[in-house]
Amino acid sequence: MSGLVALLDDVAALAKLSAASIDDIGAAAGRAGAKAVGVVIDDTAVTPRYVTGFTPERELPIIWRIAKGSLKNKIVFILPAALLLSQFLPWALNPLLMVGGAYLCFEGAEKVYEAIWGHHEDGTEQVIKLASAAHEEKMVAGAIRTDFILSAEIMAISLAEVADQAFFSRALILVLVALMITALVYGVVGLIVKTDDFGVRLASSNARAAQSIGRGLVKGMPVVMSALSVIGTAAMLWVGGHIIIDGLDKFGLSWPAHTLHDLALAAGHAIPFAEGVVEWLVETLGSALVGVVLGGIIVAALHLRPARAAAH
């Protein structure tokens, strides 16, 4: 009997230890996710533009497909690679992130180029394109590619926050971060893109107040979606530029990061009642400028190459 009691005491002690470990892992996942909140906001702003123009019944299925692709990016591809690299080749994480940052700069600059000089389709051509399965596949694939870079940045920031944890704990924390952030981002995106449908339902109700709110939502959502499309493009540029600046700093080329930081501090001191906001704006605009320049160089190189080939 005494042996059984001792065994039960040991089991209770192990259960308490496991519960404490789970609490610690949950808290660490929360801290790691909070550190990546800036990229999460960017991811949320980028995604809605990939479902703009589709019929209402296809919006949620497309978002669900992108969400599954995002979770696959994080858990199947990024997580194992990040854990292995952090364990055996920690020096490789920075250059890989910089390659991803350059891709984001290119994506953002390409969108700007298309908006200014791109081909504008007529209404019939656009309807046919949006109704096609090929266009849906293209948009979903593009969203998942862009998500891969943003997810890699989220996971890298989270990994840096829990670098002192044991290997298994790190893996479990990053899985929790991947699940939480994917649910947050695509839950919010789903709410954004379905708000106009909710507005239509309100507008068709019997209550005048509900009708007024519904009509306002229906009229306002195209403006919101257009704004989110612009914010999404800007987000790619400033996140990509920030990754490049931060990567150069880690390689020892510190003057871009230090110069931008000093400018942000000076601007913040000049407007003390909004110091934090001003500092963030200056650093964000500086990162976006780097993104525009680098992305513009890549876009120009890709557009000039076919012209040179044709000339020869």
**Domain positions in the chain:** 23-118+129-304
| Amino acid sitting at position 244 | I
DSSP secondary structure string for all residues of 146-177: HHHHHHHHHHHHHHHHTTTS-HHHHHHHHHHH
CA–CA separation, 47 and 51 (whole Å): 8
CA-to-CA distance for 312 and 306, rounded, in angstroms?
10
pLDDT in the model for residue 27: 58
pTM: 0.71
The per-residue pLDDT for range 249-300, each reduced to its tens digit, is: 999 999 999 999 999 999 999 999 999 999 989 999 999 999 999 999 999 9
Given a cut of 70, whether residue 33 has pLDDT beyond it is no
- What is the mean predicted confidence (pLDDT) over 87-93? 84
pLDDT (0 to 100) of residue 234: 86
What is the tens place of the pLDDT at every residue in 6-29? Answer: 544 544 444 344 344 445 555 555
Tell whether the torsion through CA atoms of 266, 271, 272 and 278 is positive or negative: negative
**pLDDT given at position 18:** 38
Confidence of residue 43 (pLDDT cuts 50, 70, 90): low
Q: How far apart are CA 162 and CA 28, in angstroms?
A: 7
Residue 70, pLDDT > 50, answer yes
Q: How many CB atoms lie within 10 A of CB 287?
A: 25
What are the structure tokens assigned to 63, written together? 């978002």
* Confidence band, pLDDT 50/70/90 cuts, at residue 65: very high
User: From the DSSP assignment, how many helices (H) and strands (E) are in the chain?
Assistant: 11, 0
Q: What is the pLDDT of residue 130?
A: 54
Distances (CA, A) of 255 to 83, 96, 174, 258, 291: 30, 21, 32, 5, 17
The structure tokens listed for 21 are 């470990």
pLDDT at 206 over 60: yes
Residue 21: its pLDDT value, please? 46
Q: Are 43 and 154 in contact (CB under 8 A)?
A: yes
Q: Using CA atoms, how far apart are residues 130 and 125, in angstroms rounded to an integer?
A: 9
